[in-house]
Amino acid sequence: MKILITGHEGFIGKNLAMFLEKDNELFGYEWDPEFLPDVSVYDWVIHLGAISATTERDIDKVMLQNYEFSKWLYNECNTHGVNLQYASSASVYGISTNFNEDAPKQPQSYYATSKYLFDRWVMQQQHNIIVQGFRYFNVYGPLEDHKKDQASPITKFFKQAQETGIITLFEDSDKYLRDFVYVGDCCNIHRYMLKTTETGIFNIGTGVATSFQTIAELIAKRFNAKIEYVPMPKKLIGQYQEYTCADIERLSNIVNINFTTPKDFIDGK
């Protein structure tokens, strides 16, 4: 197949390109308002490009790149009969305990809001194509170092343990749990879904939540590192998610995958 990947220089984009390059003809695109891609020549567009920083405060910038461009891309695909996969985010659920795809949404950042608005807009359209939206939970894995403060806790803790021998953790981190999903598993889901005719929005997680404390202890054990605790910054109190765990029933009805656990990854298995 001939596939265009937007955001191909990003964390998931780089991993996905390497994962798909053997059996497909791949092309990449990075955001440039002066040069928009001709999607008509592709079989699929995989739209991963976005301003992903949850701390971005320029809402016009976020809405232009994450929402308006995504709508343009969808319309081009729908007009030319090109199937579309796109990246959404579990951040659309906000501070919640219900992570079913149809659960109420409570986005807490401009990034999350832009993702929710596009999800909502897509669901209102009349599709002539296959459209698959993927709500990623906490994706981790190789090629993430460039994200710095936006990198997953697993990548951050690895870096701290290797470089300083000390992992810095918020107090009470045994109470903060996330659904950590390995990027290789995400790529495998993308590849499998390319072969289906399924349309819809799907949570991309493992259905299992692991605490930050557990992650830090596993990494500390591997590298013989220490854990130091710091108070949570005041700006995060009241808006820091205590828990995320994907409801993957919809995905599991289509894809059968044996997910990599954080322990497997940390132990190098």
Query: Are 67 and 46 a contacting pair, CB within 8 Å?
Result: no
Please calculate the CA angle 193-259-174 and round it to the nearest 5 degrees.
130
Measured between alpha carbons, how far is residue 206 from residues 139, 218, 221, 258 in Å? 10, 19, 24, 9
Are residues 254 and 196 in contact, defined by beta-carbon separation less than 8 angstroms?
yes
Rounded to an integer, what distance in angstroms lies between the CA atom of residue 121 and that of residue 100?
A: 18
Active-site choice (74, 111, 116, 182): 111
Q: Which residue has the tokens 């107090």?
A: 171
Q: Is position 136 annotated as part of the catalytic site? A: no
- Helix 153-163 with 212-223: angle, nearest 10 deg: 30
Q: Is 147 a catalytic residue?
A: yes
Nearest-angstrom CA–CA distance, 258 and 189: 11
Rounded Cα–Cα distance for residues 187 and 175 (Å): 30
**Catalytic residue (choose from 71, 147, 192, 243):** 147
Cite the DSSP H helix spans in the chain. Answer: 11-20, 59-62, 69-80, 110-123, 153-163, 183-194, 212-223, 249-252, 262-266
Residues 6+ apart with CB under 8 A from 169: 212, 213, 216, 227, 228, 229, 230
Identity of residue 123: M
Residue type, 116: Y
Angstrom distance (rounded) from CA 71 to CA 10: 20
Residues catalogued as catalytic: 111, 147
